[in-house]
Chain A
Amino acid sequence: GQNIDQPTEMTATEGAIVQINCTYQTSGFNGLFWYQQHAGEAPTFLSYNVLDGLEEKGRFSSFLSRSKGYSYLLLKELQMKDSASYLCAAPSGAGSYQLTFGKGTKLSVIP
């Protein structure tokens, strides 16, 4: 099965840049997802990477290195509303349509 690892908590200052890392097992890899989840709410889709490189969407960017089993989510110009948990998810195995989610990284943005 898949094993997702991401830091438990991070703190960053409003207006700054923060990078949230995620590592996964590379066998049978078929894409990696990032979701944002505010406390008490449902996860919302942020990005999906299947090829190596950086994909930018406004203030949020996501990077993938398939050979290293590594991804990161980059948040620029942090705002207070970016305080949330960020979940990394990858297929549970080769050809699987089940996703394995990491435990999430709780980001606190401080003034």
Chain B
Amino acid sequence: DGGITQSPKYLFRKEGQNVTLSCEQNLNHDAMYWYRQDPGQGLRLIYYSQIVNDFQKGDIAEGYSVSREKKESFPLTVTSAQKNPTAFYLCASSIIGRTSTDTQYFGPGTRLTVL
């Protein structure tokens, strides 16, 4: 089955610790995205990548970092510099990403709680 996987589903970390969220897709999609969702808020773009070894900041990139060493993988690191990291994190991918008309498909999400 093709799809997007994110692990773990729930993640707990102590304040001040960096944490990496995984995102893997086997859809052969070129573009991948990371969003953050807070209660009562829309999805906000953190980072996105169109091709391997290239990525761009979204609207709320501060305190986050990413890498795109393989087409299938786009891990997100939440650093200690992120002031309010507790949120629901969603990874998405799309087939081309050159135009805005490419439908984005989402992984199941990781709920991060910083204690």
- What is the interface of chain A, defined by CB distance below 8 A to chain B? 4, 8, 30-31, 33, 40-45, 48, 50, 87, 89, 91-92, 95-104
Contact = CB atoms under 8 A, between A and B. Distances in A.
B42 A30 contact: no
Nearest to A47: B103
A95 B98 CA distance: 9
B31 interface: yes
Interface residues of B, number: 28
A41 B88 CA distance: 9
Contacts of A95: 99-100
Main secondary structure, interface of A, reads loop
Contacts of B63: none
Q: Which of A8, A45, A99 has the most CB of B within 10 A?
A: A99
Interface string B26-56: 0000010001000011111100101000000
Given A97-B31, A97-B98, 4 more contacts: A43-B43, A89-B43, A97-B97, A101-B42
A97 B43 contact: no
A33 B40 CA distance: 19
A41 B109 contact: yes
Of all A-B residue pairs in the complex, the 4 with the closest CB atoms, nearest first, are: A91-B100, A42-B106, A101-B42, A101-B43
Contacts of A43: 43, 90, 106
